[in-house]
């Protein structure tokens, strides 16, 4: 920067002002300095700038998982929203319960960030407190976090849509493959979807049969297991809604291997609209993950640039996508 100042015949203060866009320099000098900086391929050091003004321009994204569609898509959305802004993204992954705790403990050390976006994992009360202490802006993407800003879908409604679709097709024995949390802390997703499922049954005056609700580990093999258990029931369901598309994929594999015709003998619907859902023609309830991410990114941006943020809680709509795995129950002869 002193180079530029010397060459332009001004003080470094002016250079700083010219480059940062703050007032106090004439337009003439500003453009002259800018041009010079461009020529010399010069750019201010973010570190020094940050140090001098006390941090600005970095947001951390914390996730429990990266390699899976949902999280990767959220992240993609966030990146899209933040691209072109002057915000840099710092990425953290906390896979295990204990790593998560450590992350929050070390948060002060991370005091290099101005905001935190949490990708859909539960946060304990204690951790919530730590966040408060830090005083950083926090946005939850794909869930809720007390009354802090969040971007999410209505899980109850999503499950209701899936279940309702099957009921409407004439099914009366509709099962639910739900996910068990990967966390010790209660996480809202599975509970909400269970409620949505129940709600749809209730609306149709259908009895909720406990044996038709099975829990399995999140993921496709969990789905496969769960479906196997449902099939081994004395009276198997004629339709099942899965917690997620991935679990539905696993279920589909079990069905294929068991030689059960879909949707002729059994209908299946997932929740997500995973990129592969189209490929295997899975009926599902679409969750706009990319947009969730984008909204989350936009939200922190607004929060950080304290534009007036009218609504800090955004809930995006889900939508039924009917494909090949759902149909009317076979009229048993």
Site for its own copies in 134-173 (CB under 8 A): none
CA distance linking residue 92 with residue 112, whole number of Å: 13
Site for its own copies in 296-325 (CB under 8 A): none
Nearer to DNA, 11 or 126 (CB): 11
Q: How far is the CB of 279 from its own copies (least distance, A)?
A: 5
Binding piece for its own copies, criterion CB under 8 A, among 144-152, 153-161, 276-284, 303-311: 276-284
Counting every residue written for the chain, the total comes to 333
Which of 202, 182, 299 minimizes the C-alpha distance to 243? 182
Query: Quick one: what does residue 27 bind among its own copies, DNA, none, with the CB cut-off 5 to 8 Å set by partner type?
Result: DNA
| Using rule CB under 8 A, residue 15 touches its own copies | no
What's the farthest any 2 CA atoms get from each other in the chain? 94
Q: How far is the CB of 68 from its own copies (least distance, A)?
A: 7
| Using rule CB under 8 A, residue 89 touches its own copies | yes
| Using rule CB under 8 A, residue 6 touches its own copies | no
Tokens coding 213: 């609700």
Helices 12-20 and 27-39: angle between axes, nearest 10 degrees: 90
- For residue 96, what are the contacts with CB-CB under 8 A and spacing of at least 6? none
The correct pick among 54, 84, 135, 259 for binding DNA (CB under 7 A) is 54
CA distance linking residue 108 with residue 291, whole number of Å: 30
| Using rule CB under 7 A, residue 134 touches DNA | no
Q: Which long-range contacts (CB under 8 A, 24 or more apart) does 194-198 make?
A: 194/159, 195/156, 195/159, 196/155, 196/156, 196/157, 196/158, 196/159, 196/160, 196/161, 196/162, 196/163, 197/159, 197/160, 197/162, 197/163, 197/241
Q: Are 152 and 315 in contact (CB under 8 A)?
A: yes
Neighbours of 28 (CB within 10 A): 8
| Using rule CB under 8 A, residue 106 touches its own copies | yes
| Using rule CB under 8 A, residue 61 touches its own copies | yes
Q: How far is the CB of 252 from its own copies (least distance, A)?
A: 7
Binding piece for its own copies, criterion CB under 8 A, among 23-31, 168-176, 275-283, 304-312: 275-283
| Using rule CB under 7 A, residue 22 touches DNA | yes
Give the footprint of its own copies on this chain (CB under 8 A): 41-48, 50-51, 55, 61, 65-69, 71-73, 75-76, 79-80, 83, 88-93, 99, 106, 108-112, 220, 249-250, 252-253, 275-276, 278-281, 290
Instruction: List contacts with DNA (CB under 7 A).
Output: 1-2, 9-14, 16-17, 19-20, 22-30, 42, 44-45, 48-49, 51-54
């Amino acid at each position: 920067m002193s180079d530029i100042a010397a060459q332009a015949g001004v003080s470094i203060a002016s250079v700083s002002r010219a480059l940062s866009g703050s007032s106090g320099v004439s337009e003439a000098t500003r453009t002259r300095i800018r041009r010079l900086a461009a020529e010399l391929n010069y750019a201010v050091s973010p570190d020094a700038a940050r140090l001098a003004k006390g941090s600005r321009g970095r947001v951390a994204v914390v996730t429990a998982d990266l390699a899976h569609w949902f999280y990767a898509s959220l992240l993609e959305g966030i990146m899209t929203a933040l691209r072109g802004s002057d915000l840099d993204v710092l990425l953290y992954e906390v896979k295990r319960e204990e790593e998560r705790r450590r992350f929050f403990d070390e948060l002060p050390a991370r005091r290099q960030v101005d905001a935190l976006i949490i990708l859909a994992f539960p946060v304990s009360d204690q951790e919530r407190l730590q966040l408060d202490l830090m005083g950083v802006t926090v946005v939850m993407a794909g869930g809720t976090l007390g009354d802090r800003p969040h971007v999410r879908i209505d899980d109850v409604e999503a499950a209701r849509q899936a279940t309702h679709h099957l009921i409407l097709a004439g099914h009366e024995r509709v099962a639910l493959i739900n996910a068990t949390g990967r966390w010790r802390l209660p996480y809202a997703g599975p509970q909400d979807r269970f409620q949505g499922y129940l709600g749809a049954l209730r609306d149709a005056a259908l009895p909720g049969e406990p044996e038709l609700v099975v829990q399995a580990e999140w993921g496709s093999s969990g789905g496969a297991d769960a479906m196997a258990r449902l099939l081994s029931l004395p009276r198997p369901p004629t339709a099942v809604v899965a917690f997620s598309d991935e679990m539905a994929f696993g279920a589909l594999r079990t069905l294929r291997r068991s030689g059960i015709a879909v949707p002729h003998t059994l209908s299946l619907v997932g929740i997500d609209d995973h990129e592969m859902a189209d490929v295997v023609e899975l009926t599902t309830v679409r969750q706009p993950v990319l947009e969730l991410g984008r909204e989350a990114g936009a939200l922190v941006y607004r929060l950080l640039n304290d534009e007036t943020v009218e609504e800090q809680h955004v809930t995006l709509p889900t939508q039924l996508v009917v494909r090949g795995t759902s149909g009317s129950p076979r009229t048993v002869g």
